[in-house]
Chain A
Amino acid sequence: MSDTPILSTHGLTGGYGDFQALFGIDMHIDAGEVVALIGANGAGKSTLLKSIFGLLPVGRDMVKFEGNSVGGTPAHMMVRRGIAMVPEGRRLFVGMTVEENLRIAIDNARLPEGEGPWTREHLFDLFPILREKRRQPIEDLSGGQQQMVAISRALLCQPKVLLCDEISLGLAPKVIREIYEILPEISAFGTAIVLVEQDVGLAREASNRLYCMLEGRITLTGISNDIPRDAIAAAYFGASHAVA
């Protein structure tokens, strides 16, 4: 089937230990598509990404990648299959240089650098400041520059699906714009992007479709530009608030 989504979840449930945070999530994304995942704090967006990526336990059939059931596969094996993640808070390797941080990804990527779409040279063209600072320890970079390294690191895994967890958090508007400007470049290679974002306006602008989550469930989905604002507000804060 040609219209099989590249990544999908099926009745995904999960959470941390005894604490259930997700209640039957069904979502999907096609190659080259940008899908935004919005919702308030604690809605379960990050938990969903971690569950898809094998960092939290889920049932095998709850996650399908290229038609295969892959739920619960350890994260490092997901990278080999073609999923990569830009984690919340960047999580770069302190004590190592920019170049070394990128090398970790190249060492373990799905494809060798040069065979996949992304090379260091290409990324340094996109983020010229990184070329300048490639030999500096990661802790010497600004927050925005670190976010560029985190995105480059994920891209050098040569993913077919890129999961981005709150990449705008704590950054200046100018830097956010700079980072969001390269998303179309990424999808141009056919890479699908799942975007977890607090800023609804930003999410709508950058995505083809969006899912809105509330208390571990999906409350709204549709084409980003077609959904009216008040529908998003209702889905975001919950119907009860709207009614009361």
Chain B
Amino acid sequence: MISVHALSHHYVGRTVLSGIDTVFPTGKFSALIGANGAGKSTLLMLMARQLQPAAGELRLAGMPLSQLTVRQFAQQVATLRQFPDFRLRLTLEELVAFGRYPHSQGRLGPADKAAVDDAIDYLGLASLRGRYVDELSGGQRQLAFLAMTIAQQTPLLLLDEPLNNLDIRHAIDIMRALRRLCDERGCTVIMVIHDINLAANYADHIVAMKHGRVYASGEVAEVMQSALLGEVFGLDFEVQRQHGGYVCNYFTYR
């Protein structure tokens, strides 16, 4: 779906990404993992066109990103970042309707309204639709933003640490919703995530980054290796398989 070619980026004198080459498989759920400062978020922001790359190229379905207009891009790629504080007086429904902007330019037609309803129902937010977003709890608010992203109805979704500060219930809600988007609607999902256990159990594809380079990438089973993850994070890792899922033990003090 989206491929990265010899991509480099730096902030004032400091190299953040150097020579990244990787492909994110279409219709799969990919997780970007790595330590703080490894360049995960920068890579995601470059894919989302929030930043301009210093060198290299990104292609969306074979087409260089730079050739798409902002609007065309927004019709194909939805991006969600974190909202640490949100003070706008908007109802949840109004917020979700923003997701239709790339298609409708603000004039909501019947198809747009259907998409909004669908996104709200998809995440089970119907009971909250008239509530003001600034009065929702952190988890509900994040779900509301995810609903906006879903209403955008793009084949590709990019998410930057959407689980930060969420309780486990809301975190699992979001992971399940994303999993279903892949399975039921064939969406491609790429997310930056810190919780390695959630990544291992919900994603299909993992890209592990270290010091601005792709350290390893592949199917979950290929990347979820004790030695490999130990290298990525500089910790002792013990990957265990239990009941068809993964559990990583990196807590034990030795």
Q: Are A and B part of the same complex?
A: no
What residues make up the interface of B, taking CB atoms closer than 8 Å to A? none
What residues make up the interface of A, taking CB atoms closer than 8 Å to B? none
